Amino acid sequence: MIFEPFQIKNLQFKNRIIRSSIGGRTSFYDGTVTSAFKNFEKRFAQHGVSGIISATISVNDKRTSPLEYPKLSDDRFIKPLAAAIKAVQKFDCRYIVQIGDTGGHTHTSLFPQQEDAQSASSVFDLFYGYRTLHKAMTIEEVEQTIENFAEAARRVRQAGADGLEITASKGYIIQQFLNPGVNRRADRYGGSIDNRFRILEEIVVGVRKAIGDDFPLGIRLSAADHNYLPMNIRLPIRFPLKHWYFGNTITQNLYFAKKLKGLGVDYLHIDKGYGFINPKGNPGSFPVEEMKMFYNSNRHLSRKAWWRAALFNSIPNFLLRPIANIGWHDTPAVSADDAKRFREEIGLPVIANGGFQARSIIEETLLAGKADLVAMARPLLANVDLVEQFRRGVECPENPCTHCNRCPIRTANSPLGCYDPTRFASVDEMEAQIMQWSASSDEQISNE
Ligand SMILES: Cc1cc2nc3c(=O)[nH]c(=O)nc-3n(C[C@H](O)[C@H](O)[C@H](O)COP(=O)(O)O)c2cc1C
């Protein structure tokens, strides 16, 4: 079934495998995509995926995930993105732009800035974001954010993309509002489930108006928040404790999905967990060494970041590894069973995300009606030709992705690529692989 076509609205996918969002430092300092962005995306398209979902492209001019991530907060970003999209589409590969806003989960910035603290409510979160304390957005800031999404959506269509995805997952701003363990507001954007949903509702309405009814629109939604994973301190504690400990469960997220269908959303992209990275969204191991590198790289930004780095540095790896790995498992097709519930109970096309690599598991997921499409990130970074291998009947690549989770942490500071040394004969070979990702003799993208 992997090689059967599938259609969402007017969008035809030649097979069922989509490259999931992979963000990295592939933009100029101002957020304009570079040739590295284009060449990186093009490699997946050349090797047979039917569609690509972009990295989370920021709708906010101030906040990006880490530095040099792409932005769509101004019209000047449209033309260079359009060039990258065109390069991908030449390979009969659909390009969906994902837009988002990291809010209080902004990982790093040039200098500490208040904008990076903005969230639904004032919460201390040890693991995600660098600001010591999140700051509750004012109503005007919420309204501005809704407008930012709509404006960015218009730019996505102008750039010639095939579709648009809004991320309401990854622990970014929308999920910060949806999540009852994080959102402690008492105004119209907090409290009841409908109030917590309101920001997403207004974003979807604004975005739909900006892109028109005929343009495919999807939402990346977490099936369940699992607030307690990874082991984290989110303070102050919130009552009822189940909200603090679990966040939204699948019941609440199915409720959101039903409302999204009513608002005219065309597909759901289902993953799991709260925060990037988290053990349900990126099943595998916790990358202790990489996390130390990352925390050390941003410890100058806030008191929290300084103490967090000090805490991690003070625990030797042999002790930290088992503690930090609590809850982290390599679970194949981690969200597939949840995706099935969304597909059956909501009746929209569903993309399942996380932990796919073996051909038979993908086949089984599709055949059992758990999902219509499967999205993959890390296994395609490890074996860019995986779809071609599947076509030749390969069950699992000879040198598979180990789900070590070094790559999603490295992405904040280093070029994109596979960082698992066990997969390479030497460090030189690993470095050559990393450098190859953005290589091309094509015309360069400029930010002028
Ligand atoms: C290097 C890297 C960068 C990522 N960047 C993004 C991103 O910008 N936005 C997003 O929604 N997900 C991002 N993800 C998450 C992936 O899209 C995917 O959901 C996750 O890796 C689980 O899928 P997998 O098991 O196929 O890797 C990233 C993952 C990796 C490995």
Enumerate the domain spans of the chain: 6-436
8 Å CB contact between 427 and 418: no
Give residues with Cβ within 8 angstroms of 256, minimum separation 6: 168, 178, 197, 200, 221, 248
pLDDT for 448 beyond 80: no
| pLDDT confidence band for 399 (50 / 70 / 90) | very high
Q: What is the pLDDT of residue 280?
A: 97
Among protein residues, the one with the nearest Cα to ligand 1's atom 1 is 408
User: Distance between CA 54 and CA 70 in Å, rounded?
Assistant: 10
pLDDT for 446 beyond 80: no
Average per-residue pLDDT for the chain: 96
| pLDDT confidence band for 38 (50 / 70 / 90) | very high
The CATH number, out of the four listed (3.40.50.2300, 3.20.20.70, 3.40.50.150, 3.40.50.1950), of the domain defined by the range 6-436: 3.20.20.70
Among protein residues, the one with the nearest Cα to ligand 1's atom 26 is 376
| DSSP assignment letter at 87 | H
User: Tens digit of pLDDT for each residue in 340-394?
Assistant: 999 999 999 999 999 999 999 999 999 999 999 999 999 999 999 999 999 999 9
8 Å CB contact between 394 and 363: no
pLDDT for 445 beyond 90: no
Candidate from 282, 383, 419 with most ligand 1 atoms within 8 A of CB, to mutate: 282
Question: Any residues with Cβ below 6 Å from ligand 1, and which?
Answer: 20-23, 55-56, 167, 170, 271, 281-282, 353-356, 376-379, 407-408, 411
Lowest mean pLDDT among 218-222, 310-314, 318-322, 439-443: 439-443
pLDDT for 193 beyond 80: yes
Q: What is the pLDDT of residue 442?
A: 74
Q: What is the pLDDT of residue 190?
A: 98
Distance of CA 104 to the CA centre of its chain: 15
3-state SS, residue 416: coil
User: Tens digit of pLDDT for each residue in 88-98?
Assistant: 999 999 999 99
180-190: b or e for each residue (b if 16 or more CB lie within 10 Å)?
bbbbbbeeebb
Q: What is the pLDDT of residue 86?
A: 97
Ligand 1 centre to CA of 387 (Å) is 18
Ligand 1 centre to CA of 24 (Å) is 10
Candidate from 19, 22, 25, 410 with most ligand 1 atoms within 8 A of CB, to mutate: 22
Ligand 1 centre to CA of 378 (Å) is 7
Per DSSP, what are the bridge partners of residue 217? 164
User: Tens digit of pLDDT for each residue in 55-78?
Assistant: 999 999 999 888 999 999 999 999
pLDDT for 441 beyond 80: no
For residue 242, count other CB atoms closer than 10 A to its CB.
13
3-state SS, residue 333: coil
Q: What is the pLDDT of residue 358?
A: 98
Ligand 1 atom closest to the CA of 65, numbered from 1: 8
Ligand 1 centre to CA of 107 (Å) is 15
User: Tens digit of pLDDT for each residue in 279-308?
Assistant: 999 999 999 999 999 999 999 999 999 999
As a whole number, mean pLDDT of residues 120-142 equals: 96
What are the DSSP calls for 355-386, one per residue?
A: S---HHHHHHHHHTTS-SEEEESHHHHH-TTH
Ligand 1 centre to CA of 21 (Å) is 5
As a whole number, mean pLDDT of residues 433-438 equals: 94
pTM score of the predicted model? 0.97
8 Å CB contact between 80 and 417: no
Ligand 1 centre to CA of 187 (Å) is 33
User: Tens digit of pLDDT for each residue in 238-272?
Assistant: 999 999 999 999 999 999 999 999 999 999 999 99
Candidate from 17, 18, 20 with most ligand 1 atoms within 8 A of CB, to mutate: 20
Ligand 1 centre to CA of 281 (Å) is 8
Ligand 1 centre to CA of 20 (Å) is 6
For residue 60, count other CB atoms closer than 10 A to its CB.
23
